[in-house]
Amino acid sequence: MMHVLDSSTLDPIVLELGQRFVDAGFELSLVGGPVRDLFLGRQSPDLDFTTDATPDQTLAVIKGWADAFWEIGRAFGTIGLRKREFTIEVTTYRAEAYDPDSRKPEVAFGDSLEADLQRRDFTMNAMALRLPGMELVDPHGGIKDLYAGVLRTPGRAEDSFSDDPLRMMRAARFVAQLGVALHPEVEGAMIEMAERINMISAERVRDELTKLICAPQARLGVDVLVSTGLADQMLPEVSALQLEVDEHHRHKDVYQHSLQVLEQAAGLETGPDGPVPGPDFVLRFAALMHDVGKPATRRFEPSGAVSFRHHDVVGAKLTAKRMKALRFDNDTIKAVARLVELHMRFYGYGEAGWTDSAVRRYVTDAGPVLERLHRLTRSDVTTRNQRKADRLAFAYDDLEQRIAALAEQEELGAIRPDLDGAQIMALLGLAPGPLVGKAYKFLLEERMEHGPLGAEEAQRRLHGWWQEHGPGSPAAEESTGSVDDEH
């Protein structure tokens, strides 16, 4: 239920800033999301204002009052500033004229608040509070739409999305953030104009997608991207999860399953002091993408079953490729792709008991995403068969207990051989080179397989390996001979 506007939730600096502008002979209004959030009973840490003052005039008003200010958005009429814990933007009234074939708006300053509100994305964001008198300006029925939970544009949706196609993704994001529904005209325009999202830079699309995935109801937002065709353009791997129905072959609805895994993974995030503080984009996006390798690997078996062999490896490659195209940073790409690659590993544990060596490899291969992998794997259980779900949950409980028990004995988070490179070179009389790397790899395998060996036992095994693989050994001579034979 929508809250009644309560001006007491506004920080005094809002009225204080409004008074400064009025005293200087200008208008100032709180606008957009912060006004919407007042009616939702929320306080926004970021405050957006609009004014008839030019950027130079705005600077004159806020200098000496703001704790800091910046002019990065000056070309668009925006001056940014910080006052206490608040980030504030003050933008000159705008009446933007867009080139429909350009990615960037052509900025023209306007002369009225009403004209400025007309050019905003959605009615619930096209409300303003004139300051310092707190007069509500809502020419497009934003309060009514907010109360009804409907996302509508101030003018024709086609015109709004033609002005800035990214607004179509913002529509999906608001569905995910606020739980609102698209007005039929908005939805129709998005379906008709979905291809125009390709005019938008990958960076802007990435940022909107990240906000959507991190929203409280991300599942709803993703569904809007898919149902309107936007995902076909910027995230086609997710659209492709809608595998055609074949009544002769029974398997899960991969698309709906993926949405459920996304929802369940978000539910397993922790508070700020936990191992996976929410919202966690890496976990959530891996949950959404974990099965994107299935369409390419689907096979119909003679028995009537459906298989998706190696969909984890294929999916990891597809995920990395898509994230690279969307200009995600390398660390985020690596983390998400690793989770997709490893999401099936646990099922070998449930089918047959793992040795300590297998548990160590699981931890080592997951590395820094281990806690996320725990949550992704648990979230991947969407079966309605409660007995099967319980069996998988108990098996994963057991695996986590095994990991904890081994961690008490060993440093599982950073498994290293019992001897380092310098010790290996000293013992074998080697200079840095490929042989040192091979010896190191051998000791690492021994550590994985048998746990901590201790320096003395590690030295004994290293010398044994050296006799078999060092210069003059049968293995080395065989290798050399094979090369000579080729010539």
The size of the chain, in residues, is 487
Pick the CATH number of 236-414 from 2.60.40, 1.20.1740, 1.10.3210, 1.10.287: 1.10.3210
In angstroms, how far is CA 101 from the centroid of its own chain? 29
Q: Is the dihedral of CA 150, 154, 156, 162 positive or negative?
A: negative
What is the SS3 assignment for 188? helix
Q: Per residue of the chain (487 residues), give pLDDT as tens.
A: 344 455 567 889 999 999 999 999 999 999 999 999 988 888 777 899 999 999 999 999 999 999 999 998 888 899 999 999 999 999 999 875 555 665 555 667 888 999 999 989 999 999 999 999 899 999 999 999 999 999 999 999 999 999 899 999 999 999 999 999 999 999 999 999 999 999 999 999 999 999 999 999 999 999 999 999 999 999 999 999 997 555 444 556 899 999 999 999 999 999 999 999 999 999 999 999 999 999 988 888 887 788 888 999 999 999 999 999 999 999 999 999 999 999 998 887 756 678 888 888 888 889 899 999 999 999 999 888 898 888 888 888 888 888 888 777 666 555 677 778 788 888 888 888 888 788 877 877 777 777 777 788 888 887 887 888 777 666 555 554 443 343 3
Q: Out of 1.10.3720.10, 1.25.10.10, 2.60.40.2550, 1.10.110.30, select the CATH number for domain 156-234.
A: 1.10.110.30
Closest by CA position to 201, among listed 72, 73, 104: 104
Q: How many other CB atoms sit within 10 Å of the CB of residue 416? A: 11
Segment 25-29 long-range contacts (CB within 8 Å, at least 24 positions apart)? 26/51, 26/52, 26/53, 26/57, 26/61, 27/51, 27/52, 27/53, 27/113, 27/130, 28/53, 28/90, 28/130, 28/131, 29/113, 29/128, 29/129, 29/130, 29/131, 29/137
Identical fold at 1-148 and 156-234? no
1-148 topology per CATH:
Beta Polymerase; domain 2 (3.30.460)
Residue 279 preceded by cis peptide, ω within 30 = yes
Domain coordinates in residue numbering, the chain: 1-148, 156-234, 236-414, 421-470
Helix axes 455-469, 421-428, angle to 10 degrees: 60
